[in-house]
Amino acid sequence: MIEIGSGKAYEGRKDLGNNQPGDGKLFKGRGPIQLTGRANYAAAGKDLGLDLVNNPELVETPEVGFRTSVWFWNKRQLNKLADRNTLKDFRKITKKINGGNNGSADREKYWKQASKVFKEQKEEEELEL
């Protein structure tokens, strides 16, 4: 899984650790969580024992893509926000992952649908007890 865009928008982004010419394209979003930026690839690779700086395409594979997504989620302690299951916290999670608000209307629509399903499931489980 790789970002459709060229990665040009990430070129020279110091907040992403993109300090070399071509880093924007090389370290554009990959994997389910769209890991982006030299700094994230380097840190994830270090923690996971993988050379993702020299082999960023590994993040496109299902195994490494999901491992880096879980790494990102855990590093940013997103379960704390997700467990509260509020729209406000969902927006915080989105900001931490995406860095912006593009596509927020669609994300919020799907979050509301998923929250409703989880709430109904929880209520059914409580009735069974």
Stated pTM of the model? 0.85
Q: Are residues 15 and 63 in the same domain?
A: yes
**Across the chain, how many H-helices and E-strands are there?**
6, 0
Please list, in sequence order, all residues whose beta carbon lies within 8 angstroms of the beta carbon of residue 54, skipping any fewer than 6 positions away: none
Do residue 16 and residue 57 come from a single domain? yes
Check pLDDT > 90 for residue 30.
yes
Question: Domain check: are 32 and 65 in the same one?
Answer: yes
For residues 46 and 61, state if they share a domain. Answer: yes
Residues 13 and 60 in one domain: yes
pLDDT, mean of residues 95-108: 88
Do residue 46 and residue 87 come from a single domain?
Answer: no
Residue 53 in domain? yes
Task: Report the pLDDT value the prediction gives residue 4, as an integer from 0 to 100.
Answer: 94
What span, in angstroms and rounded, lies between the C-alpha atoms of 91 and 108? 8
Give the pLDDT band (50/70/90) at residue 110: very high
Domain that holds residue 17: 8-75
The pLDDT confidence band at residue 101, using thresholds 50, 70 and 90, is: confident
Quickly state the pLDDT bin for 53 (edges 50, 70, 90): very high
113/129 Cα distance (integer angstroms) = 25
